[in-house]
Amino acid sequence: MRTNDENVQLANLLFPQVNQSTEDIFKKYPKRELNEGSLVVRFAPSPTGFLHMGSVFTSLINRKLVDQVGGVCILRIEDTDKEREIEGGIDVIINGLSEFGIEFDESVQGGEYGPYVQSQRLDIYKVFAKDLVSKGFAYPCFASEEELSEIREKQSELSVRTGYYGEFAKWRESSLEEVRGELEGGKEFVIRLCSTGDNSVKFEFDDEIKGRCTFAQNDMDVVLLKSDGYPTYHFAHVIDDTLMGVNLVIRTYEWFPSVPLHLELFEKLGLSVIKYAHASPLMKMEDGKRRKLSKRKDPEADVRFFLEKGYPAIAILEYFLNIMNSNFADWRTQNLQLPYTEFKLKLKKFNKAGALFDMVKLEDVCKEYVASLSAKEVYDMSLVWAQKFDSELVKRLEENRELCINILNIEREGSKIRKDIIKWEDVNMAFEIFFDDMSDDIVLESVPENVDSKDVGEIVDRFLNSYDEGDDVTAWFEKIKVIGNDLGFTSDYKAYKESPSEFKGKVGDVAMVLRIALTKKSQTPDLYQVMQVMGKEMVEARLRGFVI
């Protein structure tokens, strides 16, 4: 056992360049002046160059909760794993989240509690590590990878927990002389926590999402500083969240098992514990089982997937609120006009089993959202998207502004609102029947079998002769009925049902011939509205040019 004095000597031996104290550091991070009930939260991603949808999910929770009660939402970059880091990774995060309207009050872009990138805070971690060593709460460990795996093998043979703890933690009792010897030999070392926990002792803990939980105390001498001088997640988390004045840590469930360790770290560092909320990660159903949405397996785990296809960002946020708090759906139906920001998100209402990320449901929310917009809004939003991802669409939208808005306005009012646009990419599909260069690529569908080619010609000719662009929908349909009745296609559906053999078909078949003649397709939005938007010239040209 080292004496107190030896611990201080050990600290000086390990960190000769560190001459600041923890008090010096605390002075640079004064207590925040907050209103009662305000939150200071942070989103703390690693800059891997990949933005997972789970990041949008977690940062939305953070941003939304702060917006509800006031406070500060911080973006902290956790780049302590040099292997996972990618150049430009920070921009991927900031720009990606910004597409969803998620911005931060403090980040690399500014703030008084920085630096907000962990690799720029290495000196701070060293001060705290030195402090812990001097108090006997941490020590250097020179065990090599081989020695560590030998320990693990031995533990497996003995059928006990693997890890660096208790009697297996051979460097925790090392003398000053032993350490000096290793240092002189130039051996690499890490700094480990000297845990005083007892794994057989259970304690209770309240998580803001999971509620009351029972844990066993930590007894692992985990690494705090790696041999390259970088902190581990655990050490940096406790120090940074304290210095930055965070009062609620919202993070994914994968960190839940580390709670006992983090509580011990707060205690050994003499810091107050911060509240935790552990949110389950986004899950996916596969073969009837839930599994984590995976960056490797699921294209929809990648934020870029949604941005490139133009899923409306707000609809995605609405969908996320839906799976966070199940009462959102009712709130939405009762408050159609209100923005999602008015909804009160509650951690206590989170689904404890985890949120299922279901593309079908997400697309439903997108459809409903686009259906709630005006044609002009759809035009504007798809133009913003196209400016990044679809230059042809930009050209089309800009050169045919009025026509495009009119197309997008079809079936946008009244009882039957179109729901064919899920994402901005789909706007192209809504346009295809109206632009000759696009409709050239549509494969002509067949007219109904019961209409022979002579009747097809008759229908088209007669319609052309009677067509008046100024007709309202009733007059327009009346003309189609008349043509149908003349040719043996009845508008009396009851009569048709009773004795179908008396008729060639129904008036719907007549409308179908016109639909196909005008658009090549058997399924389109409301035909009257389509014709109104096409206008006389296009309607006549297409009908005249129609050959089966």
What mask, x for binding ligand GLU by CB under 6 A, covers residues 446 to 475?
------------------------------
Question: Could you tell me the smallest distance in angstroms from the CB atom of residue 49 to ligand GLU?
Answer: 13
* Interface of this chain with ligand GLU, residues 237 to 296, rule: CB under 6 A: 237, 251, 255
Q: Edge-to-edge strands of the sheet including 289-292?
A: 289-292, 282-286, 355-356
Question: Could you tell me the smallest distance in angstroms from the CB atom of residue 322 to ligand GLU?
Answer: 23
Region of 40-48, 136-144, 319-327, 345-353 interacting with ligand GLU (CB under 6 A): 40-48
56 binding ligand GLU? (CB under 6 A): no
Nearer to ligand GLU, 296 or 454 (CB): 296
78 binding ligand GLU? (CB under 6 A): yes
* Chain Cα centroid distance, residue 188: 40
Question: Could you tell me the smallest distance in angstroms from the CB atom of residue 106 to ligand GLU?
Answer: 15
Strands 489-490 and 505-506: parallel
45 binding ligand GLU? (CB under 6 A): yes
Nearer to ligand GLU, 114 or 310 (CB): 114
Question: Could you tell me the smallest distance in angstroms from the CB atom of residue 167 to ligand GLU?
Answer: 31
At 179, the amino acid letter reads V
* Interface of this chain with ligand GLU, residues 389 to 408, rule: CB under 6 A: none
Question: Could you tell me the smallest distance in angstroms from the CB atom of residue 188 to ligand GLU?
Answer: 24
How far apart are the C-alpha atoms of 173 and 162, rounded to whole Å?
20
In eight-state DSSP terms, residue 448 is P
Question: Could you tell me the smallest distance in angstroms from the CB atom of residue 45 to ligand GLU?
Answer: 5
542 binding ligand GLU? (CB under 6 A): no
Which residues are bridge partners to 141 per DSSP? 190
Q: What is the 3-state secondary structure (H, E, C) of 142-184?
A: CCCHHHHHHHHHHHHHCCCCCCCEHHHCCCCCCCHHHHHHHHH
How far apart are the C-alpha atoms of 344 and 349, rounded to whole Å?
11
Nearer to ligand GLU, 210 or 506 (CB): 210
Question: Could you tell me the smallest distance in angstroms from the CB atom of residue 204 to ligand GLU?
Answer: 22
Q: Is 195 helix (H, G, I), strand (E, B) or coil?
A: coil
Nearer to ligand GLU, 81 or 432 (CB): 81
Region of 41-49, 256-264, 370-378, 483-491 interacting with ligand GLU (CB under 6 A): 41-49
Nearer to ligand GLU, 108 or 512 (CB): 108
Q: Which of 161, 172, 159, 154 is nearest to 223 (CA)?
A: 172
Region of 42-50, 83-91, 222-230, 346-354 interacting with ligand GLU (CB under 6 A): 42-50
Question: Could you tell me the smallest distance in angstroms from the CB atom of residue 546 to ligand GLU?
Answer: 59
Tokens coding 184: 């002189």
208 binding ligand GLU? (CB under 6 A): no
Q: Which of 7, 46, 59, 232 binds ligand GLU (CB under 6 A)?
A: 46
What residue ranges in 129-265 does DSSP mark as E strands?
Answer: 138-141, 190-193, 202-207, 211-216, 223-225, 248-252
Other CB atoms within a 10 A radius of the CB of residue 525 amount to: 18
Residue 382 burial (C-beta neighbours within 10 Å; 0-12, 13-18, 19+): buried
Region of 44-52, 143-151, 455-463, 479-487 interacting with ligand GLU (CB under 6 A): 44-52
Q: Could you tell me how many helices (H) and strands (E) the chain has, helices first?
A: 23, 14
Residues in contact with 366: Cβ distance below 8 Å, sequence separation at least 6, in sequence order: 311, 312, 315, 316, 319, 422, 423
Q: Which of 350, 181, 373, 102 is nearest to 382 (CA)?
A: 373
Q: Which residues bind ligand GLU (CB under 6 A)?
A: 44-46, 78, 237, 251, 255
